[in-house]
Structures are given as C-alpha cells and as structure tokens.
Amino acid sequence: MNTSTAAVFGSSTLFSTEPNSNYVVFSRRKNIISLLQKCKNHKQILQVQAQIIKSKNEQDPFIVFELLRLCFRFKSTDYAYKVFQNTQNPNVYLYTALIDGLVLSNSYVDAMWAYSKMVSEDVVPDNYALTPVLKACGLQLALKEGREVHGRVLKLGLSSNRSVKLKLLELYGKCGEFNDAKKVFDKMPEQDVVPWTVVISSYLDYGLVGEANAIFDETRNKDTVCWTAMIDGLVRNGEMNRALEFFREMQRESVRPNEVTLVCVLSACSHLGALELGRWVHSYVGKYAFEVNSILGSSLINMYSRCGSIDEAQSVFVRMKEKDVSAYNSIIVGFAMNGRSTEAIEKFKEMIRCGLQPSRITFVGLLNACSHGGLVDLAFKMLNAMTIEYGIEPQIEHYGCVVDLLGRLGRLEEAYKFIEELNIGPDHKMWSSLLSACKIHGNLQLGERVAKVLFDLGNADSGTYVLLSNVYASLGKWEEAAQVRAKMKESQMQKEPGCSSIEVKNEIHEFFVGDFRHPKSEDIYRKLDEINQMLRSRGYSAATEVALQDIGDPEKEWSLAIHSERLAICYGLISTEPGTTLRVIKNLRVCNDCHSMIKLVAKVTHRKIVVRDRNRFHHFENGACSCGDYW
C-alpha cells in the first residue's frame, strides 16, 4: 500500500495475493467493500481502486457494484462510465447500478442508452432495472421509448409489480397521456395515496389545477407527500394564495410538513410578500429542528429578501453553517433588489475568497446591483469578467441588466447601440426596458424606433402599446396616444391592471385601482381622504402630469389618488398598530406621484413603508426612499 493510502486507511494485509479459497475470496471481498464504504471523496476511491486492480479484484461484480454506487454518490459520472466499460460481461445488477446512478445524476438520455445496450447484449432486465429506466423516460418525456419499455414489462410478466406500475403511471402522466395513465391506475390492486399523488402531480404538471384538486379531494388518508405535491403544483401554476390555503388546511389536519413542503410554502410567501407567514415557517424550522441546509437556507433568504426584510435575510445567511453558491446567490440577489448594491458586491468578494465558483445567477444579481446603484463602469467590468475570468458566457438576462442600467441613466442611444451590437438576438423584455426608459426620459423619437422594432419582430404585447401610448401622452400628444390605444383594442390585447397586496394578520388583501370590493372600503376611502388633506396642509400637490389621460386636473388628481398601492397603504394604516411597518407588493412600476406621496405618508404617520414594485424595493422612512428617487 502506498503512503497516501496508508495515511487515509491505515496499514492492512487486505490486498495480499495468497491462494484463493471460497473463504478467502469472501473475506477479501467483504473487507474491500468495507474499505470502499469508508471513502469520503473521489480521491479516496481512486486510492482503493488502485489496490483493487493490483490484487486482481477489478472484475468482482460485488466490488464493481459498490464502486459504481460510490462514483455516483460523489458525482463522478464520467469515472463510473470508465469503471463500467472496463467490466467484462456486466450482469443485470451492474446495469441496474449504472442506470439508477445515471437517473439520480439527471442523465436521463444516458440512462436510456444504457438500458438499450443492456437489452442488445441479451441481459434480461428485472423490475429493479426497469423502474429507473421508466423514470428516465418519463422525466425526458420520451413517450415512444417508454412505450417500448412497457412492452418489455408485459413480455416479462412484470406488469403486476407495484414499483413498475407506479413508474408506468408516472411515465404516462408526465407525457400528458392521461387515458393511458388511467388504464394503468385502474389495474392497480392498491389504489392508495401513492398512485393518487402521482396522478395529482401529473395534472398539475400540465396546469390542470381543477382536475388535480378534484382528485385530491377524493384521496383518502392524505400523507405529507400528497399534500406537498398539491402545494408545490399550485405554486408552480402561480396559485400562491391557494397554495397557502392548502398549507393552512394541512396544519388543521395535523399532517406534519417536510423540508420540501416548507420550501414550497416559502416560495409562495416570497411571491406574495407574506412576511408574517414566512416568519412562522422559520420558527417552525427551529421548533422541529430542521437542518437549515443550502436548500432550506436559500429559501429563507429569498423569502425575507422578497418580503423586503433584508436584515433578516442577512441574519439567516450568517447563521448558516455551510454556505454554497446557492446561498451566496440568494443573498447577493437579495441585497441587489433591496437597493443595497455595495453589500451585494462585498458578498461577491467574500464568495470568491471562500473559493466558490460563481454562476450565471451570481452575475445576474451583481449586474442588477450595478443597475440599481447606477454603477455603469463596474457593470461593464463584471460583464467582461464573466467570460475572461470565470468562463461564463453572458446570456440575454445579463445583457438585459446592462440595457436597464443605461436606460435608467438616460444613456438611451448608447443602450440602443449596445442592443444592436449584441451577438445574440435581444428579446422583447430588453426592447421593452429601453422603451420604458424612453418614456421616463421623454425621448419620443427613439421610443418610436424601439416600438417599431417590437412591432416588426411580432413581439409587441399589451405593455408595448401602453408604453408607446404613455410616451406620447407624457409629451401631451393625446391624439397619437389615443391612436395607439385604439390599435391595442383592435389587436384584442388587454392592459395588465395595477394590483397591490398587503399582508395583515397573516392574510393577504388585494386592491386594484379604484377598488370598492373590500369589506372595509368605506373606512379605507375615509382614511385616504384624511391622508390627502393632511398632505395638502404640508404643501403636497399631485403631480398630475403623470396621469397620462386627456382630462382636467381635478380628474387627474382623483385618478392618481385611487392607485392600488395607496388603497393598500390606507388599509394597513387602519388595520395595524401605530408604528407597524407596512409592506406592499405591486405588480407594476410605482409612478412618480405615488412615490412622492408615500415618502410624505411615511413621514407624517411615523411609519416605515416597504413597497416592492416590478423593478425593485422601495424602503420609505422619514420622508426619504432607499432608492434615492432612482428607479
């Protein structure tokens, strides 16, 4: 044994080449496998394997099986291939280890290839080999190949095996073949919660929420996995409020969530800005001693960041024992979206000092931080460093951050030229970002050129029409604005309505512009009137020029006064204790007038008001905003 191996494993006579006997072979095999199982990384596997080869045990199927298993555990997929290829006449168990490992490594096409090779060499698969290959076909949406495997299942008489049946059900469900899935389901002798859960997940994969809900209601003895499948599917389909309702019902049914459930719920909280429920989930994590690993920790950081509580996000990050790229990405993105650009950049430097390799998401966060901080020179340095220092090819989202930055700074022609010179085709979001900047800076000429590009490319959506109309309206060109709106109506496109939400006592309350649906509408509008009078007495007057409609000033003032975020804030003021921070989520950009008004409201009510709009977070306090009026 060489020195390094001895240092790791201690001296041993394990690899002696004494004459074989059944006992000696069995004992040696047992000891080798035991030694392999002590390996903690790929380097130690190599050390042991060198001695396995030296002692001529490299063809022992039991040892090869353990080698393959360990290679996949340490994500050494390529090396697992080499081990397998050097094995003479691999049996069904070795093929199964290879296929299973490839599936666990998300190498679904390779797993299907391994199965084909197995069959071509007349190695008869059993249910343990067929189960992972069916899973690979389902996850790859390889319906044709999956049907062929199903045919072999029938030929081998394995169609009654429960694990095989479940994977067949999953295959057809993931491929959207619900009639075939039903045939498999109907033939299952045990129609318990497990197959029902597979069917629920399949419907949700295709956005069939109603169908999934109906099956869920029929399912008896719903366990944690079943509840989690429903909650996860609702989150993936944008049904955040319903996901939280199901989570509350799960709690009432005394079904304990697992880590996956909590991650799904935190995701819903992030989208809705449901900070109080997110805090409750965090306390639940502590109460039941869940490990705050990379997945759960990153989810908590994202939740606090997207709810505007970046200090709590930082606290979670600091307390995490092991911080990987995902955790650093979460805190960098969090600092960026909350306007703390310098801290985002410092976290990146810390990440590099820790020896972690940044990813594409890292640079999206950094470039957003540059955009929100107006750091144009640093942004271009970061963009160059991606390729030169870290070997990461910039994608459309990275270039989009630069266009957004240049647009915010009013360097519109430079942004236009930057887009034209890209080596990849810009998407409609990038052009729309520039069009929005043209509106903000009043550049009608360039705005028309950008809009024409969007129309010519067939990428114009309702936002394009609205932005172009607003460009005209902001310059008082009402006739042109009306013509654009008329074209939008002809195209049967609907403008996305402004919507704001606020969490009060663990409930999310939504408001649209001029909304009277809320049970406390009278109190809300009474408070709105009170606030308006208070602000006027302090010199506030509505910036009616941002009301992009050809109407008189009184009507313009009223149209601004009933914006959705104002209604949400007024509801928060009448529903919470004095001094409570108000947190509002809006789906559109906050207008200039609302921004000015909220700064004053925060000052006169002695409140901190946090607003997350489409672009960024605004932390209002003492008459100022964290964005520095730059958004």
Confidence band, pLDDT 50/70/90 cuts, at residue 558: low
pLDDT, average across residues 588-592: 86
**Paired tokens of 185:** 């389901």
Yes or no: say if 409 and 372 are a contact pair by the CB < 8 Å rule.
no
Most confident of 462-471, 522-531, 540-549, 553-562: 522-531
Contacts of 292 by beta carbon, 8 Å cutoff, 6+ apart: 285, 300, 316, 319, 320, 321
Query: Alpha carbon 38 to chain centroid distance?
Result: 36
Whole-number average pLDDT of the chain: 88
pLDDT category, 543, cuts 50, 70, 90?
A: low
Q: pLDDT tens digits, residue range 308-366?
A: 999 999 999 999 999 999 999 999 999 999 999 999 999 999 999 999 999 999 999 99
pLDDT-above-90 percentage for the chain:
64
pLDDT for the residue numbered 30: 73
> Could you tell me the sign of the dihedral formed by the alpha carbons of 575, 576, 579, 581, in that order?
negative
Q: Is the pLDDT of residue 554 over 90?
A: no
CATH 3.30.230.10 is the classification of domain 401-495: no
**Which pLDDT belongs to residue 557?**
55
Residue 140 has pLDDT above 80, yes or no: yes
What confidence score (pLDDT) does residue 263 get? 98
Contacts of 174 (CB under 8 A, 6+ apart): 138, 139, 141, 202, 205
Helices (H), 86-142: 92-104, 108-120, 127-139
Q: 330 with 306: CB under 8 angstroms?
A: no
Of 279-283, 454-458, 474-478, least confident by mean pLDDT is: 474-478
Answer whether 574's CB lies under 8 Å from 527's CB: yes
Residue span(s) of the chain under CATH 1.25.40.10 come to 401-495
* pLDDT exceeds 50 at position 218: yes
pLDDT tens by residue, 474-486: 777 778 878 878 8
Which residue has tokens 């698969």?
125
Query: Phi and psi for 412 in degrees, rounded to 5?
Result: -70, -45
Phi, psi of 376 (to 5 degrees): -70, -40
CB 65 within 8 A of CB 57: no
DSSP 544: G
Instruction: Give the number of other Cβ atoms within 10 Å of residue 322's Cβ.
Output: 10
Residue 4: which pLDDT band, with cuts at 50, 70 and 90? very low
**564, 512 Cβ separation under 8 angstroms:** yes
> How far apart, in whole angstroms, are the C-alpha atoms of residue 385 and residue 575?
49
- Residue 553: band (very low, low, confident or very high) from pLDDT cuts 50, 70, 90: very low
pLDDT at 528: 94
CB 405 within 8 A of CB 371: yes
